[in-house]
Amino acid sequence: MYEGRHTGRPRKWTPQQQQAFGELAASEGGTVGALLRQIKENQDQVPISENTAKRYLKEMDYTYKRYRYSLKKSEIKRRSSTPAK
């Protein structure tokens, strides 16, 4: 019986572990590295890379928004009738 192609290796974390990671990200927030350190302290799970953790979160429709350190300038530049010097 043909099952199709099986490319790549199996995932390190089970779907339950991935779901728990997603719930932690929703409740705590922060960077992926901080979330992985928190999981490492609390539970004995197989370590994964930050890229793998980002992929798991992206598959669960989590997005990352970069915080701005300064506000954008919303000042409107006014044109003058005299040429710039």
> Residue range 68-85: average pLDDT?
60
Residue 48 located in a structural domain: yes
Tokens of 22: 């997603």
Residue ranges making up the domain that contains 49: 15-59
Residue 53 located in a structural domain: yes
Residue 67 located in a structural domain: no
Number of domains in the chain: 1
Distance in angstroms (rounded) separating the CA atoms of residues 28 and 2: 44
Residue 6 located in a structural domain: no
Please give the pLDDT value at position 5: 80
Distance in angstroms (rounded) separating the CA atoms of residues 11 and 49: 12
Residue 20 located in a structural domain: yes
Full-model pTM: 0.64
Residue 10 located in a structural domain: no
* Closest-CA residue to 39 (of 18, 59, 65): 18
Residue 73 located in a structural domain: no
Confidence of residue 2 (pLDDT cuts 50, 70, 90): confident
Residue 26 located in a structural domain: yes
